[in-house]
Structure 1
């Protein structure tokens, strides 16, 4: 009985700490997002021209450093000449649609990604391209599988996809990155981790020591392989490992389709490599940053940044934070 009292007190403290952390995170997220939500509705697609942003950055430097009226007049004439003007009916430049994906364990950004991809498919021409700035250390299998499928929609329609990894694309993140026609990674970006992991504690012996029974009833031989509270069997463990191997094999089949030059026995070991070494192993196609690529493409393409924003009610956002903190990931890339 004393054990149960101590455990209950510990659990109450743990839940209180988790709720406090979630509440603070929610307040910070609300403050950070205040005034930046979509206009005119609860959902909106934000469209921004990046060419003008880069052009304005250069002009601000020149204006600040200009000396005297003569320099300022010369600068004004040059800015007027550099400003692109297209006459009516003049063909538009090819567009580079820029999307951002910041992954968490549940790949929750996939909800925005699917809308952004649909918007591109609705408007893109054959000479347009897509650049995805990807950052993710992986997460749950179904979520990252769906995210990779969204990028595959672009390739299936003949739209060239470039993915840039400035920091990390590991495990499920690399599952997404591999879909690219052209994959670029920064020199010290983390790439790879082609494997599947699953872990869970087992409290059966602890419960047994304190004379606590736990019953689990299933219909179907493999409805539950391993449990947290029940007694696990060698047969259950073997079946669980079979399931992991099946997911790993599917991961490798995916890579064989999109990156056929990969030496899968060499790289599909769960290891990761930094960008420069990843290039030597054909895990990526080039070493560089998204910043350099955008500056280069901006000389000959219209850079169009897309971001789908969905306003979630406060209660929903709080529940998502709590779910993210409390969730036990059973199987993940």
Structure 2
């Protein structure tokens, strides 16, 4: 009897556990279905944020009688600002760009710029806070093209560099009408680099054959596993040099005052050095610049985020795990040129 009772209790516990697991799965499925993966543009009014800081601190640093007067003054100020907002005064649109090697943030950047251009006019201003050490040529080329869309609409464009805008990050920055830079921020690095690991000698040592078939003399100049020939290496270096020439030409187009022979060596400089060389226009942090603008204008931060469903996130994690376990990620590195 005790044995039967134990079995019954075990079966009941097992059922409850399975039921709990099933319930969790159902809840996750419902949340995933509701969440969807719709993209969203978010707007933050920075001028109100800054004024909120000021009002909060003022309220805590004045007497009780002065606080009443302050509330009355703030109420009048809000009414004046609301009536002004209905007019056509200058607006400042702020976009943040945080770049990685793949320039993957370009997908958000293109949507943010598109959103801004739906209402921005030449009397407004677009401020882009760039932070990037650079990366793949095609990715940062597209980033720069997105910022050029602002210039083509005759809308003033300002780039602020608080930490680093080097190589591909600087390629983006030069499209601006003016570049502001923090004193110790890093800019420049106008150069091109490519890294190609080669395992051919290892394979040869262990009598492993590697064959690669191509059509076109320079379809593959250097590779991960194949022998790097003098001819292939020479062509690869030539392609790097051609990319560098394009880079220098692009920088020179937007900042003709630069001495390219001096600055296009691949070196980087800090803000205080960069301003004397003409790489940037003013030593100033983005915070100081935006707070000053917020005293007279609306400052509107625009950000875009692709919302992912839970299933998409799980799929992405699985995909990355599989990719890391294959040679595909190494093969990608073979053909990359980095700005």
TM-score by length of 2: 0.82
1:161 aligns to 2:194 (yes or no): no
- What residue in structure 1 maps to residue 13 of structure 2? none
Distance in 2 separating the partners of 1:210 and 1:41: 49
CA shift for structure 1 position 210:
0.8
User: Could you list the runs of 4 or more consecutive aligned residues of structure 1 that deviate by over 3 angstroms after TM superposition?
Assistant: 38-41, 84-90, 319-329
Distance in 1 separating the partners of 2:316 and 2:280: 36
Q: Residues 37 and 306 of structure 2 are in contact (CA less than 8 Å); yes or no, is this contact kept in structure 1?
A: no
- What residue in structure 2 maps to residue 70 of structure 1? 65
Distance in 2 separating the partners of 1:86 and 1:92: 12
1:331 aligns to 2:334 (yes or no): no
Q: Residues 93 and 300 of structure 1 are in contact (CA less than 8 Å); yes or no, is this contact kept in structure 2?
A: no
1:113-163 CA-to-partner distances (Å, cap 9, x unmatched) read 111111111111220110000000000000000000000011011011000
Match of 1:50 among 25, 41, 46: 46
Q: Gaps (5+ residues) in structure 1?
A: 1-34
- What residue in structure 1 maps to residue 138 of structure 2? 142
CA shift for structure 1 position 256:
1.1
Deviates more, 1:274-283 or 1:81-90: 81-90
Change (3 A) 1:141 1:319: farther
CA shift for structure 1 position 86:
3.8
1:97 aligns to 2:93 (yes or no): yes
1:277 aligns to 2:278 (yes or no): no
TM-score by length of 1: 0.84
1:148-186 CA-to-partner distances (Å, cap 9, x unmatched) read 000001101101100000000000000000100010110
Distance in 2 separating the partners of 1:166 and 1:88: 31
* 2:42 counterpart SS class: strand
Distance in 1 separating the partners of 2:156 and 2:135: 26
Distance in 2 separating the partners of 1:94 and 1:273: 34
Q: Residues 216 and 230 of structure 1 are in contact (CA less than 8 Å); yes or no, is this contact kept in structure 2?
A: yes
Deviates more, 1:293-302 or 1:83-92: 83-92
Distance in 2 separating the partners of 1:75 and 1:223: 72
1:232-276 CA-to-partner distances (Å, cap 9, x unmatched) read 100000000010011100001101111111100100000000011
- What residue in structure 1 maps to residue 103 of structure 2? 107
1:233-272 pair list within 5 angstroms: 233-272=229-268
Q: Residues 128 and 160 of structure 1 are in contact (CA less than 8 Å); yes or no, is this contact kept in structure 2?
A: yes
Match of 1:225 among 210, 221, 234: 221
What is the aligned residue count? Answer: 296
Root-mean-square deviation (CA, aligned residues, Å) is 2.2
1:211 aligns to 2:215 (yes or no): no
Q: From the CA coordinates, give the structure whose radius of gyration is larger.
A: 2
Distance in 2 separating the partners of 1:88 and 1:167: 35
Distance in 2 separating the partners of 1:211 and 1:81: 84
